[in-house]
């Protein structure tokens, strides 16, 4: 059976672990050459080694516009185009109202909103007409979570950006969709708890999910592949929840 991304060039930001790495792996398996980014060089190099010869790692800070320029200069020089862009780089931390700091706000919005915005904008000259853009959202864009309001607001902004961009890009037939994972067993999620409390953390999330478990990175990657491929050729501007039903109840 033919690979659905055969011969495509893709970029997945924030792909040194977790969901981003799983998406990059899925894209490589489906025939794409994938550029991956991350801020932590050892983890990024390890991810590239795992992905093999069809992956190129470029150390990038999505919140730094000069760093993004370097990334796209590399892609332009080596490949000359992008068929798929997954703007996945993101960060978040918890603080209830009353304890939110300017630093937390700036860190979250600089990576999640500013980083996503300028990643897509700076990619435009390389994106082919008919390209697929996938933005990483979150179930928190429509659900309340204690002490998570700043992160949730940043992900709601991502949802809003997608709605506007499909109009801005109408003449180029570039699709923009938001992939919104629910609780997923990634280093970022389990790292919220001390080692001895990590299983309890996952169990607490699972108890709130209609399917009774947290997601796997590979399950999120399957949905990303759908949005990135021609299988979703008439899907544009949606927020696709891959969350076991938690945001729907």
Digit-coded pLDDT (tens) for 51-70:
999 999 999 999 999 999 99
Q: What is the pLDDT of residue 1?
A: 66
Residue 191 scores a pLDDT above 80: no
Residue 194 scores a pLDDT above 90: no
Return mean pLDDT, the chain: 96
Number of neighbours of residue 53 by Cβ within 10 angstroms: 8
Please say whether the beta carbons of 166 and 178 come within 8 A.
no
- Active-site residue (options: 27, 35, 72, 151): 151
- pTM for this model (two decimals): 0.96
CA–CA separation, 120 and 168 (whole Å): 12
Arithmetic mean of pLDDT, 138-162: 95
In the beta sheet, which residues pair with residue 56?
35
Active site residue 35: no
In the beta sheet, which residues pair with residue 11?
35, 85
């Amino acid at each position: 059976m033919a690979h659905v991304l055969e011969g495509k060039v893709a970029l997945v930001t924030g792909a040194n672990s977790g969901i981003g790495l799983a998406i990059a792996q899925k894209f490589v398996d489906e025939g794409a050459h994938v550029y991956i980014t991350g801020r932590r060089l050892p983890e990024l190099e390890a991810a590239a080694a795992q992905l093999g010869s069809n992956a190129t790692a470029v150390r990038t800070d999505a919140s730094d516009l000069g760093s993004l320029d370097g990334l796209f200069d590399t892609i332009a020089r080596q490949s000359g185009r992008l068929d798929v862009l997954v703007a996945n780089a993101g960060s978040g931390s918890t603080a209830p109202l009353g304890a939110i700091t300017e630093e937390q706000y700036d860190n979250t919005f600089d990576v999640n909103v500013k980083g996503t915005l300028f990643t897509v904008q700076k990619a435009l000259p390389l994106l082919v007409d008919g390209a697929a853009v996938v933005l990483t959202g979150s179930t928190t864009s429509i659900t309340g979570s204690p002490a998570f309001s700043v992160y949730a607001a940043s992900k709601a902004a991502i949802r809003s950006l997608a709605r506007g961009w499909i109009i801005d890009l109408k003449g180029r037939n570039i699709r923009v969709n938001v992939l919104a994972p629910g609780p997923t067993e990634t280093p970022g999620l389990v790292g919220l708890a001390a080692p001895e409390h990590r299983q309890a953390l996952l169990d607490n999330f699972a108890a709130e999910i209609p399917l009774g478990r947290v997601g796997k990175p590979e399950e999120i990657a399957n949905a990303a592949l759908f949005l990135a491929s021609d299988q979703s050729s008439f899907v544009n501007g949606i927020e696709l929840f891959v969350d076991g039903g938690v945001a729907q109840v």
